[in-house]
Structure 1
């Protein structure tokens, strides 16, 4: 069902599960307070917003990002624009041998660059960033969709018994760049291509100490509960033995990552998508190894103040580790 605001902003559902396309907003000029309020209201209700073909410049990208709050540089600092640290470049070019090294994977029999499993951003850090604005500056000729799943709806689908069981539990997260091992809810048919087949490039090392986040949080604006699990980078349930922890995380990850409830966005030129990182998990299907793709992303600052470092000494200092080399 379409929704039309008084200032002619239209909302069109992206899928039966989550997301709205927003039309009627002129992002080439400063937005009015009423327009900003309408966009924020839609974001809280829908979790994902699409501004189709609206991101023709960095200026427009930054203007839309400011609607949702203060921006911060991404944790993967080597990918940030040297002229504007709030803009992160996500690019793949099969002919660029000097780009940072990113492992390519074969998923369900298809070699892919840029594949990412289901996750929420920066689960391996103590803060939970509010959201992100992704702008497609060069769509892939094939594939390249980004998927989104609503973790509020996923919580609602849990049995009453499982809801009671996970209330108050916490999960330990640690950065793991190897998607073929130790990741819950990932495809069974996944393998890594050798480094030479992954385009070479410069390897990057990160130092992110283990962090702890609750399994269930509450959306502040509505009181709805969120199944706050990031299948990528999750390690174990704090205080639970390994066998029980592995079984629970696998069950929850498979429930959360049920793609019958996902929306996969097929990118067009200059599309901008905004997602609520406090309630939505996302994934990237990747692109064939011969395809180019480039996108820009901003990160919206924010923190529910429920995450912490596993090491109490680190947590006291709240030193946020980022790129090492």
Structure 2
């Protein structure tokens, strides 16, 4: 086994690493797989640089981390499932209908800080993402570590939110996003597919996840998703909403210093820990297209549940970026 070429994601910080030049044969080496998984568990995110830009490599890399989870909706475009099972295809063509005004600019494909599957009782282990078509500017994917967020959250908010559970529901109507929304946030035009997503999810019960949880290694994680949040379990009051909004706003504020924003290259692939890390999308100028492909790694941290003990077999659409 060749020695892995490992570097920090950001100099001087423990969150995230880079691994350069991993090859497809490397992904089948048990020693490489064990080492990469140990690094992922410790650091929460890996950017693989200078890898073969192919769907086959995407699948091989994903398989290092566990079985893949298929997307819950058959309507979501897939890559050839015979040769690249589990790979979904997310294409934004130039001048799409969905537009957001935020931070003084008009963009498409902007998404606030969130973790995936917040609206489900189970949380997938991770996502593996790569870029096919990259806008000449922006179109970045951002990541922020929940361990660092917990450590930097103000003591007052930390004391008030710890031990609380947050209610989530699938809600892709961007006009409805409000917890922690930037002051100039405005949805100019909804994505035309949003109504279909909402219709598919209408009978699904709300999911509940702890605002703070503790890893087996002892670190506490602030794991609040401002997007999709509906309130605090047992405290859907103006006071409870104000607390959730204050925590969400502090997440946005802390992320200015703590976040890592990935500027894509075709030879990049990356994985993040969905139980620990929040992610966001910067958006980009509507005149440009953007195409991403993604796999989802199966798993569950075991702390989520549906409200009032409900269960659901509904298949709901998921937006993944």
Q: Do both proteins adopt the same fold according to a TM-score greater than 0.5, normalized to the shorter chain? A: yes
Q: CA deviation at 1:14?
A: 1.9
Tell me the residue number matched to 1:219: 215
Tell me the residue number matched to 2:92: 92
* Root-mean-square deviation (Å): 2.3
Label 1:278 to 1:27 Cα distance change in 2 as closer, same or farther (>3 A): same
Q: Does residue 53 in structure 1 map to residue 50 in structure 2?
A: yes
Report the 3-state secondary structure (helix = DSSP H, G, I; strand = E; otherwise coil) of the residue aligned with 1:49. strand
Q: Does residue 118 in structure 1 map to residue 113 in structure 2?
A: yes
CA distance in 2, matches of 1:294, 1:28: 27
Tell me the residue number matched to 1:255: 250
Tell me the residue number matched to 1:3: none
**Aligned pairs, how many?**
307
CA distance in 1, matches of 2:205, 2:103: 32
Label 1:190 to 1:32 Cα distance change in 2 as closer, same or farther (>3 A): same
Q: How does 1:264-279 map to 2 (within 5 A)?
A: 264-279=261-276
Flag as ranges the 4+ runs of structure 1 deviating above 6 A. none
CA contact (8 A) 2:21 2:51 kept: no
Label 1:194 to 1:322 Cα distance change in 2 as closer, same or farther (>3 A): closer
Q: Which residue of 13, 32, 38 maps to 2:29?
A: 32
CA contact (8 A) 1:182 1:235 kept: no
Report the 3-state secondary structure (helix = DSSP H, G, I; strand = E; otherwise coil) of the residue aligned with 1:306. coil
Q: Which residue of 267, 276, 284 maps to 1:287?
A: 284
Q: Does residue 322 in structure 1 map to residue 319 in structure 2?
A: no
TM-score, normalised to structure 1's length? 0.86
CA distance in 1, matches of 2:94, 2:205: 32
Tell me the residue number matched to 1:107: 102
Q: How does 1:132-151 map to 2 (within 5 A)?
A: 132-151=127-146
Q: Does residue 302 in structure 1 map to residue 299 in structure 2?
A: yes
Q: Does residue 204 in structure 1 map to residue 196 in structure 2?
A: yes
Label 1:49 to 1:78 Cα distance change in 2 as closer, same or farther (>3 A): same
Q: CA deviation at 1:203?
A: 5.3
Q: CA deviation at 1:320?
A: 4.5
CA distance in 1, matches of 2:124, 2:51: 24
Tell me the residue number matched to 1:168: 163
Q: CA deviation at 1:182?
A: 4.1
CA contact (8 A) 1:80 1:88 kept: yes
Q: CA deviation at 1:323?
A: 3.9
CA contact (8 A) 2:210 2:304 kept: yes
CA distance in 2, matches of 1:246, 1:162: 13
Label 1:82 to 1:13 Cα distance change in 2 as closer, same or farther (>3 A): closer
CA distance in 2, matches of 1:303, 1:234: 19
CA contact (8 A) 1:77 1:322 kept: no
Tell me the residue number matched to 2:61: 64
Q: CA deviation at 1:103?
A: 2.3
Report the 3-state secondary structure (helix = DSSP H, G, I; strand = E; otherwise coil) of the residue aligned with 1:34. helix
Q: CA deviation at 1:38?
A: 1.3
CA contact (8 A) 1:73 1:80 kept: no
Between 1:185-194 and 1:23-32, the stretch displaced more is 23-32
CA distance in 1, matches of 2:75, 2:181: 27
Q: Which runs of 5+ in 1 are unaligned?
A: 1-5
